[in-house]
Amino acid sequence: MNSVISKICRCKPTRETLMNNEPAEKSHAPQVQYDAPLDDALRPHVYDGDIQEYDKRLPNWWLWTLYGAIAFAFGYWSLFHHWHIADEPGTALDAEMKANALAAAADSGVLDDAQMWLMSRDPAVVAAGQSTFSSTCASCHNTDASGKIGPNLRDEVWIHGGSPHEIVSTITTGVAVKGMPTWGPVLGKKKINEVAAFILSLHKEGEPVIPAAQAAASPKTAQN
């Protein structure tokens, strides 16, 4: 068996001969491989006297993964960062979440104040609310909501509370004895939410809410 192997390997250094520190020059052909596939040539350099490297070709699947990643990165960069053809995934997600919140808000009557404030910053919702306001509310509250028969809705003074859910509630139930009609059955939840968003668009989140009784007591903040 040994003789067969030595016959086969006559012209090649075996792993053992290399491990035994036999200099590469000693072998018949310095560029040949030892008991390894014939297609991989040894590279010419030697480290630490006996460490040699195969000139291994990278496998195609690896190369194509690399080329694919480079092409993908270039496409991604062009699309999102250079030409801004599409929104970055984070921005797109935010926009979608906002749209979902607004769609849910517009269709349902159950909204929290944060969603109402969000709606009040959406130009499409505010525009829809403003058109309802002009046709339905302006006769008493004035087109710019500064007040006529009904009170000013632009200032910080509120009779029935100035938080989003209080405004929605006042519009929905009305104040019949004071001449503010009940809009719930007339307009429906969606339009009431929109018109409330329009009123909120005239305000800042977190601004003070001054109760009308208090305003009446102090002439500085007197309500019209």
H-helix or E-strand spanning residue 199: helix 184-201
- 79 phi, psi to nearest 5 deg: -65, -50
∠ CA 131-135-137, nearest 5°, is 100
Tell which one of 160, 165, 189, 190 touches ligand HEC (CB under 6 A). Answer: 160
Which CB, 115 or 170, lies closer to ligand HEC?
A: 170
Task: Give CA–CA dist 15/68, Å, rounded.
Answer: 38
For residue 196, what is the enclosing H or E element?
Answer: helix 184-201
Residue 20 tokens read as: 């035994």
Nearer to ligand HEC, 170 or 201 (CB): 170
Closer to ligand HEC by Cβ: residue 18 or 170: 170
Q: For residue 176, what are its two tokens?
A: 């019949």
Q: Exactly one of 153, 197, 200, 215 binds ligand HEC (CB under 6 A); which one?
A: 153
**Minimum distance of ligand HEC from residue 94's CB (angstroms):** 30
Could you give the C-alpha distances from 164 to 11, 32, 67, 127, 221, in angstroms and in order?
90, 83, 54, 18, 21
Fill in the DSSP letter of residue 44.
E
**Window 103 to 142, contacts with ligand HEC (CB under 6 A):** 136-137, 139-141
CB of 84 to ligand HEC, least distance (A): 39
Shortest distance in whole angstroms from residue 139 CB to ligand HEC = 5
Q: Toward ligand HEC, which CB reaches closer, 93 or 186?
A: 186
Which of residues 13 and 133 has its CB atom nearest to ligand HEC in the complex? 133
State the Cα–Cα distance between residues 135 and 195, nearest whole angstrom. Answer: 11
Q: Which is nearer to ligand HEC, 18 or 125 (CB)?
A: 125
Choose one: 5-13, 24-32, 99-107, 144-152; the region binding ligand HEC (CB under 6 A). Answer: 144-152
Binding-residue total with ligand HEC (CB under 6 A): 22
Cβ neighbours of 137 (radius 10 Å): 24
Is residue 96 a contact partner of residue 87, using CB atoms and an 8 Å limit?
no
Chain positions contacting ligand HEC, by CB under 6 A: 136-137, 139-141, 149-151, 153, 158-160, 167, 170-171, 175, 178-181, 183, 195
